[in-house]
């Protein structure tokens, strides 16, 4: 179980633990802030992020003030698929200034 080894392999005190889950592969990843505290830890077959969240909560309990963020779910882009880019408005030219926003409150 990664909880014990993960907590003992940290090279300092984490301020935050982030948990993300790649729904396309079923892998969850725990990463830390600051990043030099420890390398990211992956759990295979953790589709819901339960194992990573359990480990993250154990780390947060060991280091008071450490917060857990997540799980955040995402899907990796399939290999070879192009990155989708947003188009600008057809009425707006590249040399036009951005529209003004009225913030009178």
Q: What is the pLDDT of residues 56-105, one digit of tens each?
A: 999 999 999 999 999 999 987 777 766 667 766 666 555 666 666 666 65
Work out the angle at residue 35's Cα, subtended by the Cα atoms of residues 18 and 74, and round it to the nearest 5 degrees. Answer: 35
Helix (H, G, I), strand (E, B) or coil at 37: helix
Instruction: Read off the pLDDT of residues 29-56 as tens digits, 9 standing for 90 and up.
Output: 999 999 999 999 999 999 999 999 999 9
Q: What is the pLDDT of residue 78?
A: 72
Taking each continuous run of H as one helix and of E as one strand, the counts in the chain are 2, 4
CA gap 55, 28 in Å, rounded? 11
Phi, psi angles (nearest 5°) of residue 41 = -120, 130
């Amino acid at each position: 179980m990664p909880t014990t080894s993960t907590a003992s392999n940290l090279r300092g005190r984490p301020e935050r633990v982030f948990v993300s889950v790649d729904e396309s592969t079923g892998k969850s990843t725990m990463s830390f802030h600051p990043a030099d505290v420890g390398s990211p830890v992956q759990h295979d077959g953790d589709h819901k992020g339960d194992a990573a969240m359990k480990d993250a909560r154990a780390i947060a309990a060991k280091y008071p003030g450490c917060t857990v963020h997540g799980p955040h779910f995402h899907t990796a882009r399939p290999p070879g698929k192009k990155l989708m880019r947003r188009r600008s408005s057809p009425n707006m030219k590249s040399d036009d200034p951005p529209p003004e926003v009225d913030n009178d409150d």
